[in-house]
Amino acid sequence: MIAGITITSCSKKQDSLGAGSGENPFFTEWSAPFGVPPYDKIKVEHYKPAFDKGLADHEAEIDAIVNNEDKPTFENTILALESSGELLTHVSRVFFNLSQTDGNDEMDAIEEEYAPILTKHDDEINMNEKLFARIKVVYDERASSGLGAEENRLIEKYYKNFVRGGTSLSAEDKAKVMKINEEIVTLTTKFGKNLLAENNKFQLLITDEKDLAGLPESSINAAAETAKSKETEGWIFTLNKPSWIPFMQFADNRKLREKMYKAYIDRGNNNDELDNKAILEKIVPLRTQKANIMGYKTWADFIISDNMAKTSDAANALVNQVATATIPFAKAEAAELQKMIVKTGENFKLEGWDWWYYTEKLRKERYDLDEEMLRPYFSLETTQKGMFMLCNKLWGLQFEKLTNLPLYNKDVLTYEIKDRDGSHLGIMYFDFHPRSTKRGGAWMENIIDEYFVDGKRSAPVIVNVCNFTGPVGDTPSLLSIDEAETMFHEFGHALHGLLTQCKYRSTSGTSVPSDFVELPSQVMENWVLEPQMLKQYAKHYKTGEIIPDSLISKIQAAKTFNQGFITMELIAASALDMDWHTQTTTDKKDAVAFEKESMKKLGLIDEIAPRYSSWYFNHIFGGDPSYSAGYYAYTWSAVLDADAYQAFVETGDIFNPEVAEKFRKNVLETGDSEDPAVSYRNFRGKDATPDAYLKRKGFVKK
């Protein structure tokens, strides 16, 4: 996924950064190599003064645009808006990235204070009638302006964004929307902070070695390291995925698996000070109320009208189509696992905390394959090299590790990315491992965007944040297949930001609809397990041995194994998201009862929980509002990525440079400078259908 916050666009100009210099690094031009943030100089006490000055500067810039007596033009209105708010953008990008990756109590307090202030600031701009009047003049005259396609696209984006921001509402409705927005941002901020605290609160301490039975040595050693770091005797397992997943896969102790499982799915649902149910029960009616004011029947209709799907009906149709295809496979998998339970001499009914464990047993029996056999070939270092190698094969990209950039955390790695001709494309920060200050999941953020100023390209600075299995002692970080795919996925987002060649920040890179933004990321996952690819990068971390053909054959044979479960938990979360956000009334819903009914309606079997239950569904209740009513986007984009990858497969060469260049030109470079549907057709020559996606899952015959 990509993460973001709603902030106003800015340009490369340095005038406002030089004002009011002093010791605050936000008030001076950044002199670190490549213009990256001076993380070594930024302190917590710098943020509030920088936010205050950034807000004041931006207000003054908006006033100057509004009070300009000249006739509104593209330059004095649209471009002036694009170049406004530079200081505010700088401090926001740095602060909100660090609040998610390296936060503390002081930063939490600042976020709680300034999130509603920033929301109100955005609302006041979006609802400024005089400003919108100037935009409308430019919008109405765009056909005869002689401007280029990207300029017209930018004009249309500004016009549409202001309309969606509430500028055409009555004064009474504007006040209502502003109040709703302020309430929602306060609630979503609290939701996310509660979830992080819940994650850090739980730990499973094991003191009896017998309770470690079945667990791989790597998992045991990591738990011992965690216990040692907490000055505790024994082994500590946490809800971070690198700790939680191996425990669910391999721990023989069923009662402990149940404890871990329930601790994970009950985050935010423990009826304590960190409970999130009451928060989301307030968020949903507020969103419905806002959608109604904006002229939409539901929040989903409001959000999706700006996406490729266009309507909630179209999004729901895809969710239901995939669910219908998936449910029989999920049921069949459950039956197989129940047989495996009986076969091992047990007589209990399969439960959610058994699925991972017996899936590994069945995988081992059927394919003589398990995750631990593969990890030694997927060290973080070799997997990253493989990812770089792929990008070099496809686009000629070059990667140079840097050691001279300021870091926000000592574990962060930095690289310069160059094009095939050696020209500078951008800077990457990789933040790979869990820590108590970092929220869960994986995401990409732009710290500095790509765009052009006076004909010169502003090179992007991008961060990939993950939560991968860490190194233990002398053993390096050894990734699961899921983690390897996540690395490629997040770097796909980074490529979208690095390779874009757009003139304006608002059309650049990942500034595209949420159901298109996952295409560049998800398409990268297709290469991870291809035999030709594995032979070039999957090397044993101790011996350097290339992964043997016997293992590759097993991987290929097991490609569609457990896809019923994997797809069902994803599509269940998508359906849950859509059900919450297609409410037509503002009646308060009981979260537990609502989710139960939603999953019953979908046909989700009891043995599978949605990937995200409501109370820890941070995508839709704790972050960027564009992700709400948007979890379907992962499946929508999966249809696109499966079809896009077929363009390579059909040539007989998965590294085909001509297809790669066409994908780069029409998808990665174009950003939102044109309609994404047009971009995709320019690449593929046709619209995508679900056929390749369903075949890849094994749900239909090839």
What angle do helix axes 254-265 and 352-367 make, rounded to 10 degrees?
120
Buried b (16+ CB within 10 A) or exposed e, 455-488: eebbbbbbbbbbbbbbebeebbbbbbeebbbbbb
681: left (phi over 0), alpha (psi -120 to 50) or beta: alpha
- Cα(668)–Cα(498) distance, rounded to whole angstroms? 9
Distances (CA, A) of 541 to 39, 103, 217, 443: 33, 33, 16, 26
Number of Cβ within 10 Å of residue 702's Cβ equals: 7
> What's the chain's average pLDDT?
94
Q: Is the pLDDT of residue 94 over 90?
A: yes
Q: Is the pLDDT of residue 199 over 80?
A: yes
Residues in the chain: 702
Same domain, 363 and 385: no
* Nearest by Cα to 27 from 39, 36, 19: 19
Res 2: pLDDT: 52
Res 702: pLDDT: 62
CATH number assigned to the domain comprising residue 63: 1.20.1050.40
- Cα(435)–Cα(607) distance, rounded to whole angstroms? 31
- pLDDT per position as a tens digit, 665-687: 999 999 999 999 999 999 999 99
For the ranges 4-13, 126-135, 328-337, 518-527, the lowest mean pLDDT is seen at: 4-13
- pLDDT per position as a tens digit, 168-179: 999 999 999 999
- Cα(24)–Cα(34) distance, rounded to whole angstroms? 20
- Cα(349)–Cα(289) distance, rounded to whole angstroms? 43
Same domain, 152 and 242: no
In a domain, 190, yes or no: no
CATH number assigned to the domain comprising residue 612: 1.10.1370.10
In a domain, 189, yes or no: no
Q: What share of the chain is helix, strand, coil (3-state, %, to 5)?
A: 60, 5, 35
In a domain, 173, yes or no: no
8 Å CB contact between 645 and 656: no
Q: Is the pLDDT of residue 6 over 70?
A: no
Same domain, 543 and 651: yes
Same domain, 360 and 426: no
- pLDDT per position as a tens digit, 36-64: 999 999 999 999 999 999 999 999 999 99
Q: Is the pLDDT of residue 478 over 60?
A: yes
For residue 271, the Cα-to-chain-centroid distance in whole angstroms is 28
For residue 109, the Cα-to-chain-centroid distance in whole angstroms is 24
CATH number assigned to the domain comprising residue 642: 1.10.1370.40
In a domain, 191, yes or no: no
8 Å CB contact between 478 and 463: no
Percent of the chain exceeding pLDDT 70 equals 97
Q: Is the pLDDT of residue 15 over 60?
A: no
Model confidence at 627, in pLDDT bands (50, 70, 90)? confident
Catalytic: 490? yes
- pLDDT per position as a tens digit, 375-401: 999 999 999 999 999 999 999 999 999
- Cα(216)–Cα(374) distance, rounded to whole angstroms? 12
- Cα(422)–Cα(112) distance, rounded to whole angstroms? 44
Res 639: pLDDT: 96
In a domain, 8, yes or no: no
Number of Cβ within 10 Å of residue 204's Cβ equals: 20
End-to-end, the C-alpha distance of the chain in Å comes to 29
Model confidence at 22, in pLDDT bands (50, 70, 90)? low
- Cα(374)–Cα(534) distance, rounded to whole angstroms? 11
Same domain, 344 and 396: no
Q: Is the pLDDT of residue 120 over 80?
A: yes
- Domains identified in the chain, total number: 4
Q: Which two tokens stand for residue 598?
A: 């939603």
Q: Which two tokens stand for residue 352?
A: 């959610």
Task: Identify any residues that bridge with 427 across adjacent strands, giving them in sequence order.
Answer: 416, 461
- Cα(506)–Cα(508) distance, rounded to whole angstroms? 6
8 Å CB contact between 649 and 130: no
* Nearest by Cα to 242 from 40, 562, 521, 468: 468
8 Å CB contact between 257 and 354: yes
What angle do helix axes 481-499 and 380-395 make, rounded to 10 degrees?
40
Res 344: pLDDT: 92
Residue ranges making up the domain that contains 254: 202-265
How large is the average pLDDT for residues 84-91?
A: 97
In a domain, 176, yes or no: no
Last residue of a domain, one of 168, 187, 220: 168
Same domain, 357 and 414: no
- Cα(693)–Cα(642) distance, rounded to whole angstroms? 5
How large is the average pLDDT for residues 92-114?
A: 95
Burial (Cβ within 10 Å: 0-12, 13-18, ≥19) of residue 66? middle
Selected catalytic residue, list 490, 518, 530, 607: 490
> What values do phi and psi take at 368, rounded to 5?
50, 50
Q: Count H helices, E strands: the chain?
A: 28, 9
Q: To which H or E segment does residue 398 belong?
A: strand 398-402
Res 5: pLDDT: 36
For the ranges 6-15, 158-167, 361-370, 426-435, the lowest mean pLDDT is seen at: 6-15
In a domain, 179, yes or no: no
In a domain, 197, yes or no: no
Distances (CA, A) of 526 to 358, 447, 645, 646: 26, 27, 7, 10
Quick check: helix, strand or coil at residue 424? strand
Q: Which two tokens stand for residue 648?
A: 């390579």
Q: Is the pLDDT of residue 130 over 60?
A: yes
Last residue of a domain, one of 599, 631, 663: 631
Distances (CA, A) of 217 to 113, 224, 370: 45, 10, 14
Same domain, 55 and 130: yes
Res 700: pLDDT: 84
- Cα(114)–Cα(107) distance, rounded to whole angstroms? 10
How large is the average pLDDT for residues 355-375?
A: 95
Same domain, 132 and 153: yes
* Nearest by Cα to 610 from 578, 562, 566: 566
- Cα(83)–Cα(492) distance, rounded to whole angstroms? 28
**CA 645, 649, 655 angle in degrees (round to 5)?**
85
- Cα(168)–Cα(294) distance, rounded to whole angstroms? 9
Q: Which two tokens stand for residue 145?
A: 């302006």
Question: Bigger pLDDT: 546 or 4?
Answer: 546
Tokens 């920060």 locate to: 429
Q: Is the pLDDT of residue 9 over 50?
A: no
Res 701: pLDDT: 73
Same domain, 490 and 584: no
Eight-state DSSP code of residue 506: G
Q: Which amino acid makes up residue 567?
A: T
Q: Which two tokens stand for residue 402?
A: 């840097």
Q: Which amino acid makes up residue 48?
A: K
pTM: 0.94
8 Å CB contact between 628 and 621: yes
Q: To which H or E segment does residue 401 belong?
A: strand 398-402
Last residue of a domain, one of 611, 631, 651: 631
Same domain, 383 and 400: yes
Same domain, 479 and 550: yes
- pLDDT per position as a tens digit, 227-261: 999 999 999 999 999 999 999 999 999 999 999 99
- Cα(695)–Cα(702) distance, rounded to whole angstroms? 6
How large is the average pLDDT for residues 591-596?
A: 98
Alpha-helix residue ranges (DSSP H) falling in 45-170: 47-66, 80-82, 86-101, 105-126, 129-140, 149-165
Same domain, 142 and 159: yes
Q: Is the pLDDT of residue 139 over 80?
A: yes
